[in-house]
Amino acid sequence: KDSLIESLKVVIEPAIEAKLSSIGITALPVRVLYIGGDDLAVAIQGCFALDVASSLLKSFEKKSKKLMEMFKSLQESDNDLPEYLTMSAGVVLAPYNYPIQNFNHIGKELETRAKVYGRVNSGSIKPSLIDFCLIKNQTSGDLNSIRTHRMIKNDAGSIDFMLYGGPYTP
């Protein structure tokens, strides 16, 4: 929660102050759809989405270092604890009237893809990764159906998406 608030202030507040405060708009153009456990969904203007996601992941890593230091000080053996925690994000960029259920569905698939990719291609610390999808029309369905005819098999035999090279680091 603290990382999200910090990220919104860092990315969006300057834009609000620069452009919108002169016409009397002071609220951040954000709607938190849900936050709880380890899940979070935020509706935000597309021009801010990747910057907010990147800032959120960086802020979370920074804040988690303090938490991990506290845990290490409480344990006799800290060999199995990472230096900091990471998180994965899925960002859906689509028209404002795109079905909200599909925003959520595609976002979760992107987040899962980023998380799995981070686990497979990681060293001792799994990287924080962002995967995103740009949807230009009202196409709905799962990630595979939206990206149909853009899939290829890589050398390892698993499926990659052409034109979708992610996930990406913040």
72-127 tens-digit pLDDT: 777 766 567 778 888 889 999 988 888 888 888 888 998 988 888 877 766 666 78
The span from the CA of 89 to the CA of 170, in Å, is 10
For 167, half-sphere exposure in the C-beta direction (CA atoms, 13 angstrom radius) is 31
C-alpha span between 66 and 63 (Å, rounded) = 6
Does 166 have pLDDT greater than 60? yes
pLDDT in tens, 15-25: 767 666 666 66
**Beta bridge partner(s), residue 160:** 152
**Contact at 8 Å (CB) between 4 and 56?**
yes
- Interatomic CA distance for residues 134 and 60, integer angstroms: 25
CA distance 20 to 8: 15
SS3 helix, strand, coil % of the chain, rounded to 5? Answer: 45, 20, 35
Q: Which residue has the tokens 């959520």?
A: 104
Residue 37 in this model has a pLDDT that exceeds 70: no
pTM of the model as a whole: 0.73
